[in-house]
Structure 1
Amino acid sequence: MQEIIYFLPGQGAETPSLGKKLFEKFPLSFNLLNLTEKIWGFDLREIILNGSDNIYDIIYCQPILCWYGYSLGLALKEKYKIKILVPYSLGVFPSIALAEILPFEDIIKILKFNFDLVNKLDLSGKLLYVSGYPIEEAKKNLKGIYFSSINHPLSYTIGGKEEEIKEAYNFLKEKAFSLKILPSPWPIHTKILKEVSEELKKEEYLWKNLKDPTIPILSPIDISLIDNKDKGKFLLSSVISKPMFFNSICKKLKNEKIKFIEASESGFFQKIFKLHNRDIKIFEGIGEI
């Protein structure tokens, strides 16, 4: 059986009708979506089948991306042997399920726990994606904002109150290569999200089914291999509060000669590899099942 490396993206990979083709090719995905909807409490099927722009709303995109990454991974496992799982941000959730560290049902429950807890906090504000301006210079000149998702010293996300993000945008617009205010209902307030992570770790009932992984996961936090259940728990409970170092992932995998497949229909990882000048072909998973 041919080996692959399977990439699982986070928010930003969602597109209207994401998952519709998967329904046609992998019928088990219907049952998994039923389970996801039951736990999440919203009709996700209508969003997918109608190609609704509501998928960009965080309340829909989080469970859909998690369901899609996991379901597509199961479909790929019928044809390929997954050598390593490479998640990014939200992609950690389905990767934990694919590695069988926790059942998929438990993963959706944990994702919902995170979502509900974060939504109780005052996280009003905006996110600003920055490319092409040194993060150290930005930190010197921009105060009162939070830096996160640090893919590269020249590629990162900042969060803050709306007026702070406007001020940051005005400061950076003549200096950065690319700026984009992201459609997110909250900024990633690192200090507050650490509190969420600590609360999650305390909920022992969510962790009762922990097992050692059947597939290693490349941690997007420190680029180590997740090869036991304790590391898996740490990764899952920390992913919302620690920066992701995508450039380091690129370097780690640059010598791998096997097929790369991603859980995206928008070329999410392929675009990021190009951003980091990595000439690596990544196939969209839906075309590989």
Structure 2
Amino acid sequence: MKKYAFLFPGQGAQVPGMIKDICDAYPEARAVVDEVTKITGVDMPKLLWESDAATLSRSDNSQLAITTASLAVMAVLKTKGIEPSAAMGFSLGEFPALYAAGVLSFEDVIKVVRERGLIMQATCENIAKANEGHAPGMTAILGLPPEKVEELANGIKDAYAANLNSPVQTVVSGTADALTQIEAVAKEAGARRALRLAVAGPFHSPLMQEAADNFEKAIAGVTFNNPDKTLFSNVTGKQAENGEEIKKNAVLHLTNPVRWTSEEAVLNDLIKASGDEWELIEPGVGVVLTGLWGKSGYAENAECKAINSAESINTL
């Protein structure tokens, strides 16, 4: 029997009109959207299908929208007998992965993601006010291995390797001055490109400590169960098995890097060791993780498909 791993997309995948065709074609998907509206009080049809790109890009909107899209597609896949044996998610995507692995209930994952988005938006606004004209942010370094970028960042005050995306792509968070420095030294070290990103803040770095402190308080009363499926952690880059540890890492997640290359490697090892046929699915919106898997060198062991439209569902 074929096994499936679900790879959940993170913030930045959002687009106006996302999953509208899926919700029109599949009542199960629309039911998820309506349930999120009921839980949060946010008009999700309006947010998903009537918002412009700028509105959707706010952390308090994008995180809830992307999570809703992923869970809506999951609900449709379940009716087709497609459920994950393994789950992992990129940054925000780790939270729908926690739901997929039985760590969080549906209601809890929606409430947690809603709080996380609100907290991160507020922190980013505070950072922007405190650093008017030279706010911290993120830079993508292309053409150097992650370990080299980490080494360079370690030598610069307030520069932090934040997203280890692929063998040749790492994103660094930092103050404006630190990013200018890392861009220069990366190019000197042979980077093909250093691209300043249009993001709201220095995500996955110690500069987000305010958000981490507030998020820890927000989830204090939430139960994180031990996973009932194979689950991988952004913080460790390894399999996660203990609910309490997962809860602690959900907080550390905000100030620590996303070790995506490590997670891909561990998933690939699992696929090879199992002897089973596997297919990877990126459910919800976007194609970023499908692209990263394709460039990882592991695609020969399992194909990854982005399921982000009614048409793509029909290919399964």
The TM-score with structure 2 as length reference comes to 0.77
Q: Which runs of 5+ in 1 are unaligned?
A: none
Distance between the aligned counterparts of 1:251 and 1:52, measured in 2? 37
Q: Does 1:240 align with 2:245?
A: no
Shift of 1:247: 1.7
Distance between the aligned counterparts of 1:190 and 1:160, measured in 2? 8
Which residue of structure 1 lines up, in the alignment, with residue 70 of structure 2? 69
After superposition, where does 1:171-186 map in structure 2 within 5 Å?
171-172=185-186, 175-186=190-201
Shift of 1:199: 4.3
**RMSD over equivalenced CA pairs, Å:** 3.0
- Amino acid of the structure 2 residue aligned with 1:273: W
Which residue of structure 2 lines up, in the alignment, with residue 193 of structure 1? 208
After superposition, where does 1:3-152 map in structure 2 within 5 Å?
3-37=3-37, 40=40, 42-50=42-50, 52-54=52-54, 55-78=56-79, 79-121=81-123, 122-124=126-128, 125-133=136-144, 134-136=148-150, 138-139=152-153, 142-151=156-165
The TM-score with structure 1 as length reference comes to 0.84
Which residue of structure 2 lines up, in the alignment, with residue 221 of structure 1? 235
After superposition, where does 1:242-281 map in structure 2 within 5 Å?
242-254=256-268, 256=271, 257-280=277-300, 281=303
Distance between the aligned counterparts of 2:52 and 2:168, measured in 1? 33
SS of 1:93's equivalent in the other structure is helix
Which residue of structure 2 lines up, in the alignment, with residue 158 of structure 1? 172
**Shift in alpha-carbon separation, 1:205–1:198, aligned structure 2, 3 A:** closer
Distance between the aligned counterparts of 1:215 and 1:136, measured in 2? 31
Which residue of structure 1 lines up, in the alignment, with residue 133 of structure 2? none
Shift of 1:171: 4.9
- Amino acid of the structure 2 residue aligned with 1:272: L
Shift of 1:51: 7.4
Distance between the aligned counterparts of 1:170 and 1:19, measured in 2? 40
Shift of 1:211: 3.2
Q: 1:135–1:154: 8 Å Cα contact kept in structure 2?
A: no
Q: 2:66–2:285: 8 Å Cα contact kept in structure 1?
A: no
SS of 2:246's equivalent in the other structure is helix
SS of 1:81's equivalent in the other structure is coil
Shift of 1:7: 0.9
**Shift in alpha-carbon separation, 1:100–1:180, aligned structure 2, 3 A:** same
Percent identity of equivalent pairs: 18
